[in-house]
Copies of this chain bind each other. A is one copy, B any other.
Amino acid sequence: MYVVRPVETADIAALESLAAVSMPGVHTLPKTREKIEQAVEGSIASFAAHVDIPSEESYMFVMESLADKKIVGTAAIHASAGSNGTYFSFRNDVIQQVSRDLNISHSVHALTLCSELTAYSQLSGFYVDAAVAQRPEAALLSRSRLLYAVQAPHRFGDRFFVPLAGLTDENGGSPFWDALGRKFFKMDFLDAERVIGGARNRTLIVELMPHYPVYVPLLPGDAQAVMGQIHPSGELAFNLLTSEGFEADEYIDIFDGGPILQAHKHTLRTFTASMPRRVAAASGTPASDAVATYAVSTGPDQRFRAVTINCAPLESSETVCLPKQVQDVLGVSEGDTVTCVRI
């Protein structure tokens, strides 16, 4: 059994060993001990904070295997992407080209540097151990961030987005970067990501990045080919997010051209389909009519916990039957209310 919970100071060592696993792109984990400590402390402070307007809070979750107390995954969500500046992305624009005189009509794609994702809440840092990747708990981990947002909507924006790492070559080079960012930054993709620390809200972006639309037909073929394409390592996250209701296509990352998924909360399944249910007792083994898998979560804040259960459909039921062990993990008792959403 696995539980998703807010990160704690005691997790730092485990996170450090996870970080040693090499991963591409920058939207993943902090890599150094110091950065990890900062992230964990920031998360603990965020869960504890009283929030009026979503700002610099960043919430980090870990998934723990209860059998061996091992951390097998992490996921994070930032309250407001632009809290510390402006979040920059490229918007995919389509320009209609029509000449009646010449009877020409076609459309031209253009990328426009924009700050529209500023003040959205940003999901990031999703990582699960390969052993868990094919299990419903992968979805639980990804979704736990939104389950928390359902519980604490005042801590987040109405819209959410997730940048996913774009396609790079075997040497870590990015054809999209080579066609665009490199011309302005005069440095390699990985150097640029290192120096900017994966951020997309820094003054140096507005200083260095192009302010006028980039006409896509003018980009080299290999750069066009990777626009909106995900790095293979991001496939799991991409699939989980699109089935959640996130949409790609409108924005791409300014550095590597990777897709940025985004959605209004009204179109996300965790928001539209989550159900409050009263906890009832259940036997320790799943009933024979257990045809559905649910994410079940509780809170508030630091006491946030989420697990998966298999049970009969809850749509027409007022209660959810949880075995004692699950109740203990969630920290709830019979009669308490939990949030359930089908995975």
Min C-beta distance of A88 to chain B, whole Å? 9
Q: Is A82 an interface residue (CB 8 A)?
A: yes
What is the CA–CA distance of A285 and B258 in the complex, to the nearest angstrom? 63
B86, B95, B203: the one contacting A101 at CB < 8 Å is B203
Residue of B nearest to A201 (CB): B98
What is the CA–CA distance of A100 and B202 in the complex, to the nearest angstrom? 9
Residue of B nearest to A82 (CB): B96
For A203, the chain B residues whose CB sits under 8 A away are: 99-101
Min C-beta distance of A159 to chain B, whole Å? 14
What is the 8 Å Cβ interface bit string for chain A, positions 79-99, against chain B (1 contact, 0 not)? Answer: 000100110000000111011
Residue of B nearest to A94 (CB): B116
What is the 8 Å Cβ interface bit string for chain A, positions 53-91, against chain B (1 contact, 0 not)? Answer: 000000000000000000000000000001001100000
Residue of B nearest to A206 (CB): B98
Min C-beta distance of A263 to chain B, whole Å? 14
A interface SS class = loop
Residue of B nearest to A95 (CB): B115
What is the CA–CA distance of A249 and B264 in the complex, to the nearest angstrom? 17
Min C-beta distance of A213 to chain B, whole Å? 11
Report whether A96 and B100 are in contact in the complex, using a CB–CB cutoff of 8 Å: no
Min C-beta distance of A262 to chain B, whole Å? 16
Report whether B96 and A115 are in contact in the complex, using a CB–CB cutoff of 8 Å: yes
For A99, the chain B residues whose CB sits under 8 A away are: 203
Min C-beta distance of A272 to chain B, whole Å? 13
What is the 8 Å Cβ interface bit string for chain A, positions 83-126, against chain B (1 contact, 0 not)? Answer: 00110000000111011110000000000000110100000000
Report whether B86 and A96 are in contact in the complex, using a CB–CB cutoff of 8 Å: yes
What is the CA–CA distance of A95 and B94 in the complex, to the nearest angstrom? 19
Residue of B nearest to A99 (CB): B203
For A118, the chain B residues whose CB sits under 8 A away are: 96
Interface residues of A (CB under 8 A from B): 82, 85-86, 94-96, 98-101, 115-116, 118, 203
5 CB < 8 A contacts A-B: A82-B98, A85-B100, A86-B98, A99-B203, A101-B203
Q: A86-B98, A96-B115, A101-B203 are in contact. List 10 more A-B contacts (CB 8 A).
A: A82-B96, A82-B98, A85-B98, A85-B100, A86-B96, A94-B116, A95-B115, A96-B118, A99-B203, A100-B203
